[in-house]
Chain A
């Protein structure tokens, strides 16, 4: 199932039904929890929000002529900022436990802001397509500041215990040359 869609989940669908309100609230609360965990560097807890069959992907974005815009966002199989499974994210996270991950020692201060959330049902029962916008502020050491802004399209799935898990996340970072020395957090 593709999560790449031209039809925005944000398209108005008439007056909101109660189910919509509940779903929207649930997803919004899920993202707020996720942002808290990331900002508190509780990466192991963050991993619990991700499904075992996760694909977490942030392609590189290039400047292309308007007539070649279809090539502007990287495609699967190309160089990417992230192209991860749950295992590879766990592998990345283990390095923070070493006490010697100097790019995050002393740790950065981050604030993940997640907004513009729009949710619609996915193709399969118990799945949802959720779009959101993010702005991540990182302040590091004395005066280093980085801003990572972009959009995410998630495929969420309800687990047997009723909780939501991220199955796929497609991150479009709104930068060409990454204007930061690294990304040592997650988006």
Chain B
């Protein structure tokens, strides 16, 4: 008996939901329960998913609990200082063995019947052990560990998929763009203590797609924030509203967009003054300093997003077809003096997060898009993702395929990847002899 791999549920062929070449998307992908279940099996389970930042684990026993898709997981540092991740579910009855958000522990003891696991996931205590038959073998009943766990410049990712490509291969060309946030400092990054967590009434793809490819909404959705932040208080000048910029579409479904106009830099003054831009140009190259380091947005497929100048990194946890939970950290460069780290932290929480002057309006958009998707007519509407079609190219500065900043290019890339995964049986659906 292999419970995960019992007869797979019949899969929906999602081809008909998309006409990617012509930029058409059927809204059914945002509200359908069967598609959502298929996403958990074929998009989340096989993909590399973001778990936490390495700076959250300083000594053996440090742990952090999060989710991979809807699966609860514990991320913890073992005695050997290795970071591992396990399903946060007791092998006896399935209860979460750790119900704290973070902390330090020597073992995780289920508070139902007392099965206890050490920080390497090994089952180390079973009360009333003598009641079990001789065939009971503790070594077979440890916490279920992820198939692979790896880090990229402080970011911890893991996957359940034993056949997954290496993390660096999965991130692919996206790392050039990610490094505009992760590699400004030779010492790397760390996260500020605490995580913003809040709920949104919207399908997780609404957020992931926007962070992949949507600068378009900034001038309208965030008009009030842009007004407050502009030096005149009356809103940004026309050249900022019409800012030049590029948008990167990665073949693995990742995306990033950024202005290339030097004034389109909505960063904090203290942080801005801290950086030695000459040195950064040497370290990262002009193309990155004038591009993805200015300001911008990015999503690592499927559900990890970040904002380089705000110092926000976040996961869109799926919570059903019409709900998500946002978990957002504040990331800073390790070498920053404390007052600069603090300035970055304050800037992030005042612009993004549940009270941020930008992010408040994002929540409003997504919940509205989700609400109308439930109508029969509105829910069956085809949506327009045509911006930038035929305008992508290699520009000689930014690696890979980029298009204009105002484009749906990376969203089309996101949905191509999503469609391909949804239409491909995952490792757990293949017969044992195929695996």
A residues with a Cβ closer than 8 A to B are: 59-60, 62-65, 68, 71, 74-75, 77-84, 88, 91-92, 94-96, 98-104, 144, 176-184
Contact = CB atoms under 8 A, between A and B. Distances in A.
B363 A74 contact: no
A80 B349 contact: yes
Interface in B202-250: 220-221, 223-225, 227-228, 233, 235
Q: Interface residue tally of chain B, by bracket?
A: 35 or more
A103 B361 contact: yes
Q: Is the interface of B mostly helix, strand, loop or mixed?
A: mixed
Contact of A178 (B193, B199, B227, B361): B199
Given A64-B100, A95-B228, A88 B346 contact: yes
9 contacts: A62-B102, A62-B194, A77-B345, A79-B193, A79-B196, A79-B345, A81-B349, A83-B345, A182-B355
A134 to B, nearest CB: 16
- List of 3 A-B pairs having minimum Cβ-Cβ separation, nearest first: A79-B194, A181-B363, A100-B223
Contact of B102 (A64, A77, A83, A144): A64
Contacts of A65: 100, 103, 105
A144 B364 CA distance: 11
B103 A71 contact: yes
B359 interface: yes
A102 B100 CA distance: 36
Nearest to A102: B361
Nearest to A62: B101
A163 B201 CA distance: 42
B387 interface: no
Contact of A63 (B100, B104, B198): B100
A104 B357 CA distance: 11
A173 B308 CA distance: 29
Given A60-B194, A180-B199, A95 B227 contact: yes
A76 to B, nearest CB: 10
Nearest to B235: A98
Given A95-B225, A183-B355, A78 B194 contact: yes
Given A88-B346, A94-B228, A182 B100 contact: no
- Among B330, B360, B367, max chain A CB count under 10 A is at B360
B353 A81 contact: yes
B357 A92 contact: yes
B146 interface: no
B104 A182 contact: no
B193 A77 contact: yes
Contacts of A103: 360-361, 363-364
A110 B230 CA distance: 30
Contacts of B365: 102
Contacts of B367: 144, 181
Contact of B192 (A68, A78, A144): A78
Contacts of B193: 74-75, 77-79
A84 B198 CA distance: 20
Contacts of B361: 101-103
B356 to A, nearest CB: 8
Contacts of A81: 196, 349, 353-355
Given A181-B201, A184-B360, A77 B342 contact: yes
A79 B192 contact: yes
Given A77-B342, A81-B353, A91-B350, A182 B363 contact: yes
A60 to B, nearest CB: 5
B32 to A, nearest CB: 22
Nearest to A71: B103
B330 A79 contact: yes
B358 to A, nearest CB: 10
A79 B329 contact: yes
Nearest to A75: B193
Contacts of A92: 228, 350, 355, 357
Contacts of B100: 62-65, 68
A109 B196 CA distance: 25
B59 interface: no
